[in-house]
Amino acid sequence: MPPWHDRVVTHNGSTGDAPYLRAARPDDYDAIAAVVDDWWDRPVRSAIPRLFLDFFHRTSLINEDTDGLAGFLIGLLPPDAMDGAYIHFVGVAPRARKRGLARAMYDEFFRMARREGRHNVAAITSPVNATSIAFHRSLGFAVRGPVPDYNGPDSDMMVFGRPL
Applying CB under 6 A, which residues contact ligand COA? Answer: 39-40, 89-92, 97-103, 125, 129, 131-132, 134-135, 138
Could you give the C-alpha distances from 6 to 15, 75, 150, in angstroms and in order?
A: 21, 17, 37
Whichever of 1 and 45 has its CB closer to ligand COA, that residue is 45
Whichever of 82 and 99 has its CB closer to ligand COA, that residue is 99
State the minimum distance, in angstroms, from the CB of residue 20 to ligand COA.
15
For the residues of 64-121, what is the DSSP string, one character each?
EETTEEEEEEEEE--TT-TTEEEEEEEEE-GGGTTSSHHHHHHHHHHHHHHHTT--EE
State the minimum distance, in angstroms, from the CB of residue 99 to ligand COA.
5
Other residues' Cβ atoms within 10 Å of the Cβ of residue 115: 10
Compute the half-sphere exposure of residue 14: CA atoms within 13 Å on the CB side of its CA: 1
Give 3-state DSSP helix, strand, coil % of the chain, rounded to 5: 35, 30, 35
State the minimum distance, in angstroms, from the CB of residue 109 to ligand COA.
13
State the minimum distance, in angstroms, from the CB of residue 91 to ligand COA.
4
Whichever of 75 and 91 has its CB closer to ligand COA, that residue is 91
Whichever of 5 and 131 has its CB closer to ligand COA, that residue is 131
